Structure 1
Amino acid sequence: MFGFRAYPTPILRPLGPFIAGAVIVFWATNSLQNSMLKSDEFKKDPRNPYG
């Protein structure tokens, strides 16, 4: 189609470690942020969505 050939280029296999690392960093950042929002220091902050 339009002069392009369908080469069997692997996409997900080489990017797998980067995708896994991104998921782990996102999960760790989210859990750290949630635990900090629920701490005693930030419970009385008016910007806290759980307050």
Structure 2
Amino acid sequence: MAFLGLRKWSTPVAKPLWPFMVAGTLTMYLVAKAQDSGVKSAEWRNDPRNPYAAELAKSSLH
């Protein structure tokens, strides 16, 4: 018998959702890598809209 919706044993949450957690982590990693390579590309390196333009110009001098 359930008391206010609580059961004797807890409902598993992480075990059935592990594929979605792994896929989400992998997707976030790949999107971050694509964004980083896009920001550092030659086409956008000297664009004034690039928030990392000053940092890239400083690193390219060394």
TM-score range, shorter chain: 0.7 to 0.9
Distance 1:15 1:21 in 2: 10
Aligned pairs for 1:5-44 (under 5 A) are 5-6=6-7, 7-44=9-46
Unaligned runs of 5+ in 1: none
Using structure 2 for the length normalisation, give the TM-score: 0.71
Shift of 1:4: 2.8
- RMSD (Å), alpha carbons: 1.4
Structure possessing the higher relative contact order (Cα contacts under 8 Å, 6 or more residues apart):
1
Task: Give the number of the structure whose alpha-carbon radius of gyration is greater.
Answer: 2
Aligned length: 50
Q: Which aligned segments of 4 or more residues in structure 1 are displaced greater than 6 angstroms?
A: none
Unaligned runs of 5+ in 2: 54-62
Using structure 1 for the length normalisation, give the TM-score: 0.84
